[in-house]
Structure 1
Amino acid sequence: MSDTPPPPDQIDGAPHPRETVRLFGQDAAEAAFLSAFNAGRLHHGWLLTGPRGVGKATLAWRIARFLLATPEAEEDGLFGAPPPPETLDVDPEHPVAHRLLAGSDPGLASITRSVNEKTGRMRDEIVVEDIRALNRFFGLSAADGGRRVVIVDCADEMNVSAANALLKMLEEPPERTTLLLISHRPSGLLPTIRSRCRTLRLSPLTPEDMRAALEQAGAEPPEHAEHLAALAAGSVGAALRMTALNGLGIYAELMAVLNSLPRLDRPRALALAEAAAQRGAADRFELLLDLIDTALVRLARTGATGQPPVPEAASGEGQILARLSPDAYRARAWADAAAEITARSRHGRAVNLDPAALVLDTVFKMQHTAAG
């Protein structure tokens, strides 16, 4: 990974969504938008929802490219309306495609978290000034009468003032303008924003679509793509992160530690903790904590349902989970442990606790739960 952080709307190690040629696994969402477009029911506000990393931003840029490059029926004059489009694909050589890649199309505004001019640092939220900048965009770009598209990535990051400013635009949308709001957690948005948008929900990717999406992003799919799909929960973004940080290897080591419980393979546990504490390993430490959460959830689910999740996220995982969580009673114990471990991890990170100590504390809690 580069030392320079990517823009707020780009996953580290992946192309920017405007550069992504194809969208995998989201045919239903694309078909729903095309159906509305072809029926003349193009809503002014669209809420693109679903887990992180499944292609919401890619779909938003595909829709923007399509809308800006596709003339309306009446613009074709004497020859009548063209046949309705069957895909959102736009020729890469189309002028709109070139302008979007260059970030120079006057019909598009992309709203993300911005840099605070006073501190020179990226803000943690989208502020009202970011939304109000759209007024200037609409005023400057309305002269040619073409379509206008706004992408907000992501709407979850708007503060209260920014959300209220956007709500006013949704209530009185500028003519021929489509607003595309990307949201990982739509329940956190203002109900009035949700009610003024049509929702397109994107789904987690299958292992086959995951493999294709990884290849498009320039990442070599692992030998066990089903393991990666299970750990990433169908999210290409999560899969790219795990591929870059050897997430499959880390999870396999975590399973080896769990397999030793309740006696605990201490040398292995120490090696896992020390790897997380190495200099420059902050990203791997964060990933390890996330993978511990994943393992605990899968343990609880195994006991609650009577069978391990499918597909496995590591070789032999199913047998390990079934032994440690054979019934509903053990499932409850693991669920309680997950809540406590998550709270401890959050506190430990907040006070900058030594990573190795935090990992070992977590492992000992898992050992205690396994022994109970």
Structure 2
Amino acid sequence: MAEILGNTVQQSILLHGAKNNSLPHSLLFSGQEGIGKKLCAINLAKTMLCASGNACGACPSCVQIDHGTHPDVIMIEPNDKGNIPIGNDEQEGSIRWLIGRISLASVHNQRVIIINDAHCMNIQSQNALLKTIEEPPAHTYIILISSERNQLLPTIRSRVAEYVFHPLGDSDLVSILEKSGIDRQKFGSIIPVAGGSASYALTIADDTLFSQLKDAYSAIASFVCQPEIFSYELSPIIQNIGAYKTIDLLINIFRLHCSTKSAVPWLYSALDQTHAVEIIKILLELRRGIAHNINIRMALKGMLYSLCFAK
């Protein structure tokens, strides 16, 4: 797992457990998006099933895992609607389908189940999976991956061994951006806003999207300084990169505003730090509401009006 940047302690512990058959059978990899949780889960599966036991990347098992065709590695991802449904035995990718697959004998000695973005399971799906997580079949390992651990039921969280992953360092982000062919001149703008996430860094490497986020930041900041009618529409950005990522990146920009203004010429100088902090609180409240299908546009507008009225 040495090729995965960051979180070396977590990787070392997991690798040691895999090689010594001491891993818990149900695990949770938690931490923000884009910090290597899924890559680590895949490499862990390779280590457990690799012919050499070292995730060599070249043996038939490792190659099958890379191509998503290994019979004993099942990857569950959210569907096009962003959900992991409870479904039925015939609905591939659903929780009941997964439970049915787990009940069958494995082809090799060990089997690894990876549920990416596990928080996208609704309550029914999580409850259906609970017994399997509590008592997995022999030689079966279940890895839940989540950037929103609090959306997992307490009964789920209490039955897994949790490994918390942390944001990547600036040097790690530089390496990732370089490997992705991003212009080095952009690094100084991208890295402070990425918040330690490779996914976010690569997202805002898109000039058009980064410009839209800056416009959203400026619209919010200018409204708080000179409240009139707030008409900025976040929906084009949300439709492009999703609600969580949109709000997270705006939070990162306002945090950057609080930390320094002189080094970032496009930050809105008229906004004082006190109100920038209040805006961050509003955005965090919006973020919590996403899971409950909050109307982001109306909620943001209402909370900004309340902030300005209180001012």
Aligned to 1:105: 70
State whether residues 149 and 178 of structure 1, in contact with CA within 8 Å, keep that contact through their aligned partners in structure 2.
yes
Distance in 1, Cα, partners of 2:152 & 2:262: 33
Aligned to 2:122: 159
Structure 1 residue 179 and structure 2 residue 128: aligned?
Answer: no
Structure 1 residue 325 and structure 2 residue 272: aligned?
Answer: yes
Q: Matched residue pairs, number?
A: 298
Q: CA deviation at 1:57?
A: 1.0
Aligned to 1:237: 199
Q: CA deviation at 1:315?
A: 2.2
Q: CA deviation at 1:101?
A: 2.6
Distance 1:249 1:34, change over 3 A: same
Aligned to 1:57: 38
- Which one-letter code corresponds to 1:127 in the other structure? I
Distance in 1, Cα, partners of 2:247 & 2:166: 25
State whether residues 207 and 225 of structure 1, in contact with CA within 8 Å, keep that contact through their aligned partners in structure 2.
no
Structure 1 residue 133 and structure 2 residue 97: aligned?
Answer: yes
Q: CA deviation at 1:70?
A: 5.1
Q: CA deviation at 1:251?
A: 5.3
Distance in 2, Cα, partners of 1:171 & 1:281: 36
Distance in 2, Cα, partners of 1:337 & 1:207: 27
State whether residues 99 and 132 of structure 2, in contact with CA within 8 Å, keep that contact through their aligned partners in structure 1.
no
State whether residues 25 and 136 of structure 2, in contact with CA within 8 Å, keep that contact through their aligned partners in structure 1.
yes
SS of the residue aligned with 1:223?
helix
Distance 1:30 1:313, change over 3 A: farther
RMSD: 4.3
Distance in 1, Cα, partners of 2:241 & 2:117: 25
Measured against aligned partners, the alpha-carbon deviations of 1:58-107 in whole angstroms (never above 9, x if no partner) come to 11111111111157xxxxxxxxxxxxx7xxx5222211122123322111
Distance in 1, Cα, partners of 2:122 & 2:224: 45
SS of the residue aligned with 2:185?
coil
Aligned to 2:48: 67
Measured against aligned partners, the alpha-carbon deviations of 1:108-153 in whole angstroms (never above 9, x if no partner) come to 1112234xxxxxx6463332532222344234443x5511010011
- 1:1-372, aligned counterparts within 5 Å? 22-69=3-50, 90-114=55-79, 122=81, 124-129=83-88, 130-142=94-106, 144-216=107-179, 218-250=180-212, 262=225, 283=240, 291-299=249-257, 302=258, 308=259, 315-316=264-265, 324-325=271-272, 330=275, 334=279, 347=295, 349=297
State whether residues 297 and 335 of structure 1, in contact with CA within 8 Å, keep that contact through their aligned partners in structure 2.
yes
Distance in 2, Cα, partners of 1:187 & 1:106: 31
Distance in 2, Cα, partners of 1:58 & 1:193: 22
Distance in 2, Cα, partners of 1:107 & 1:339: 39
Q: CA deviation at 1:163?
A: 1.0
State whether residues 54 and 234 of structure 1, in contact with CA within 8 Å, keep that contact through their aligned partners in structure 2.
yes
Length-normalised TM-score, structure 1: 0.64
- Bigger Rg over Cα: 1
* Segment of structure 1 superposing worse, 244-253 or 35-44: 244-253
State whether residues 32 and 166 of structure 2, in contact with CA within 8 Å, keep that contact through their aligned partners in structure 1.
yes
Distance in 2, Cα, partners of 1:69 & 1:220: 33
State whether residues 109 and 149 of structure 1, in contact with CA within 8 Å, keep that contact through their aligned partners in structure 2.
yes
Distance in 1, Cα, partners of 2:218 & 2:263: 10
- Which one-letter code corresponds to 1:36 in the other structure? G
State whether residues 103 and 137 of structure 2, in contact with CA within 8 Å, keep that contact through their aligned partners in structure 1.
no
Percent identity of paired positions between Structure 1 and Structure 2: 22
State whether residues 75 and 113 of structure 2, in contact with CA within 8 Å, keep that contact through their aligned partners in structure 1.
yes
Distance in 2, Cα, partners of 1:210 & 1:186: 24
Length-normalised TM-score, structure 2: 0.74
State whether residues 252 and 314 of structure 1, in contact with CA within 8 Å, keep that contact through their aligned partners in structure 2.
no
Aligned to 2:91: none
Distance 1:222 1:259, change over 3 A: farther
* Segment of structure 1 superposing worse, 89-98 or 179-188: 89-98
Distance in 2, Cα, partners of 1:285 & 1:113: 13
State whether residues 194 and 252 of structure 2, in contact with CA within 8 Å, keep that contact through their aligned partners in structure 1.
no
Q: CA deviation at 1:43?
A: 0.8
Distance in 2, Cα, partners of 1:313 & 1:251: 20
